[in-house]
Amino acid sequence: MEEERAPRPAWGRWQRGDGGRGLPWRSTVLIAVIVMVGTGFAARNQPGRETLDVLGRALLLLGAAPLLFRHRRPVPVVFGVAAVTLGYLAAGYPYGPVFGLVGVACFAAVVHGHRTAAAWALGLLWAGHLLLSHWLYRWLPPAGDGPAPWGQELPAAAFAVAVLAASETVRVRREQRAQLRADRAAAERRRADEERLRIARELHDVLAHSISVINVQAGAGLALLDTDPEQARTALKTIKAASKEALGEVRQVLDTLRTPGDCLLYTS
């Protein structure tokens, strides 16, 4: 009999990065719309930044587009989104929901088991932002911009830590739920195996007893066939009764194994 293989845990699909499903285009479109609209509102309160023009909106869309593949290629996606976000900030465009794109990409990477990649992407984005805000601002738009206050780096760092912590929490809980389902499935398989073993033993006992009776009576019938035909007839009747009883018990045992739709042929 071919060895039965245990089903692959659900978290294995997450680690492969495909999640067992197609591209998440609905959620990606929703995220892109939220970022576009939210950035438009955020720009109203940042008069010192560049106006959100066609290029700025194109960068926002370019940052959202890779999220389509966040379940299949989480590592390239998280670095790609971080790079586009850094380019968006280097162009002097308003702060706001653009960081949500990085958060979603990092979340997907951590959930798929790529915590190091997510941490590196966030770390590189934060380091790049430090360079832009405190050194390279002299040569970058908007014109006449000064260095950013160091106090704003604390919320940025807190955001990065919060994203990593929340993502790790979700990943651990998903793995725990997947492991629990795998344990339940394994327990069900063990119970099924134990039941099959019990039935096999019961069937063995039934057949062993009946065949023993048939063998003894057949030997007696052969020995008495010429000298005592009546006793030989009795032995044959006993053989018939024992075989009929054995067939009935075998049917009962096999009925417990039969699934709906199966067709078992019995002969008597």
**Domain co-membership, 53 together with 133:** yes
d(CA 225, CA 44): 112
Q: What percent of the chain has pLDDT over 90?
A: 41
- Whichever domain contains 228, its CATH number is 1.20.5
* Between residues 185 and 210, the one the model is more confident about: 185
CA neighbor of 110 nearest in space, from 172, 23, 35: 172
Q: How far apart (Å, rounded) are the C-alpha atoms in residues 257 and 268? A: 20
**Is residue 101 one of the residues assigned to a domain?**
yes
Q: Rounded mean pLDDT of 247-267?
A: 62
pTM reported for the whole predicted model: 0.64
Q: Is residue 175 part of a domain?
A: no
- Domain carrying residue 139: 10-148
pLDDT tops 60 at residue 198: yes
Residue 267: per-residue pLDDT: 44
First-last CA distance in the chain: 28
pLDDT digits (tens, 9 = 90+) for 16-61: 445 446 899 999 999 999 999 999 999 998 888 889 999 999 999 9
Place of tokens 């066939």: 225
- Provide the pLDDT for residue 260: 53
Q: Is 3 contained in some domain?
A: no
Looking at the structure, do residues 140 and 233 belong to the same domain, yes or no?
Answer: no
Task: Quick: pLDDT tens for 118-153.
Answer: 999 999 999 998 898 888 877 888 777 767 777 777
Residue 186 lies in a domain: no
Residue 242 maps to a domain: yes
Question: Helical H runs in the chain?
Answer: 10-16, 25-43, 54-64, 74-90, 98-111, 115-134, 153-224, 229-257
